Amino acid sequence: MLILVAKRLVAAVVIMVALSAALFGLQRVSKSDPVHTMLGPGASPQAIAIERHKLGLDQPVPTQFWHYLVGVAHGDLGVSYRTRSPVATDLRTFLPATVELAAFALLLALVLAVLLAVATTLNWPGAGVLRFVLLLGGSTPAFFLAIGGIIVFYKYLGILPATGRLTGSPPSGGPTHLLTVDAVLHGQPGVFLDALRHLLLPALAVATGPAISIGRVLRSSLITTMSQDYIRTARAKGLREWVVLAKHVLRNSAGPALSMTGLQVGLLFAGVLVVESIFAWPGLGQYTSQSLPVDDFPAIAGVTLLLGAGYVLINTVVDILQSLADPRIDV
C-alpha cells in the first residue's frame, strides 16, 4: 500500500508540473499582453517597462518558467488583473461554494448510479421507468438540464430556488464555509434545509450524466459477478438476495465502477463550472466566467491548476480504493 501511495504521489507531481508547463506555454503564445491588461491601453511606455520589470517579463523564458513553478509550489498563483487581489486569496473565497456543489453532485451521482444498477439488475418494479428517465437526462447537456430544471421546479412548481446558495444569512463564524456542514455544526436545521434546497437543482443537473456512465459500468459488473460460482453457493446456503448483493456482489463489482467514477470527475468539474453561471452560484465557475472576457490569465490558470490538482487527488483516492476493494488488482 505504501508503494502504491508513493507511486501515485510521484505521478501527481509529474502531472502538475506538466500542467503548469502547458499553462505557462499558453500564456506565452497568447496574444493578450498582461501589462496592457493591468495598466490599460493609455499607459505610457515608461510605465509599461516598469511593470514588465516588476512582473519579471523582461527575464529569459526559462527563468520566468522556473519562477512560475516555484511560485505555484508555494501557493503563489499571481495577482488577478481584474480583482487586483492575489489569485490564491480569490480562490479561497470562491472555492467552498464549488466544493460543496461538486461534492453533493458526486454523492448524488453515486447514489443514482447504484440505484440504477441494482434496480435494473434485480428487475425491481419501476426500474424501466427509472432507467428511461436517467438515460434521457444523461443524453441532455448539463446546461439544458439546468435551464429546464429552473423552468419546471422554480417557475411552474415553485418548490425549489433558482439562484444563490441560501435565502437567508449564512451561519456566522464558518468554520468550513460549506453551508450545509456549518449549519449542522451550529445546530441550525432550518439553514441546512434551505442550503440543501438550493443545492438540489444545480447538483442534479451536474450529476445526471456521470450517474448514467457509472451506473452502466456497475450494472455490467454486477451481472458478471452474479453469475459466479461463489454467488450461487451463497444463495444455496439460504442467504437472502439483498444480503448476497450487499456482502458478496457489490464489493467484487466495485472496481470498474470506481475507475469510471475517477474518469467522470473531470466531466463533473466541467459541468459545475457551466452550471454555476446559470444558477448564479458564487463559486469558481462564476469567478472564471468573469475572468475570461478580460483575459485575466492568472485567475484562469489558477482555477485550472486547482481543478487539475483536485482531479489528480480524486483519481489517486480511487486507485487506492480499488486496491482495497480487490487486493488482486495491481494499480
Show the cell assigned to 74.
Answer: 508555494
**pLDDT reported for residue 201:** 92
Domain boundary among 73, 101, 120: 73
**pLDDT reported for residue 296:** 83
- CA proximity to 21, closest of 309, 305, 300, 307: 305
Instruction: Please give the residue range of the domain that contains residue 110.
Output: 87-325
Total number of domains constituting the chain:
2
CB atoms within 10 A of CB 81: 21
Give a yes or no: residue 282 inside a domain: yes
Same domain, 111 and 257: yes
Show the cell assigned to 294.
Answer: 478580460
The radius of gyration computed from the CA coordinates of the chain, to the nearest angstrom, equals 24
**pLDDT reported for residue 329:** 57
**What's the Cα-to-Cα distance from 14 to each of 10, 63, 124, 299, rounded to whole Å?**
6, 19, 46, 22
**pLDDT reported for residue 294:** 79
**pLDDT reported for residue 196:** 92
Same domain, 278 and 145: yes
Same domain, 59 and 149: no
**pLDDT reported for residue 328:** 60
Q: Phi, psi (5° rounding) for residue 127?
A: -65, -35
CA–CA dist 228, 211 (Å, integer):
26
88 within 8 A of 39, measured Cβ to Cβ: no
Give a yes or no: residue 81 inside a domain: no
Give a yes or no: residue 124 inside a domain: yes
**pLDDT reported for residue 23:** 86
Instruction: Give the residues of the chain that fall short of pLDDT 50.
Output: 331
Same domain, 104 and 216: yes
- Sequence-distant (6+) residues with CB within 8 A of 204 are 105, 108, 145, 149
Same domain, 66 and 100: no
Give a yes or no: residue 331 inside a domain: no
Q: CA angle 34-36-38, nearest 5°?
A: 70
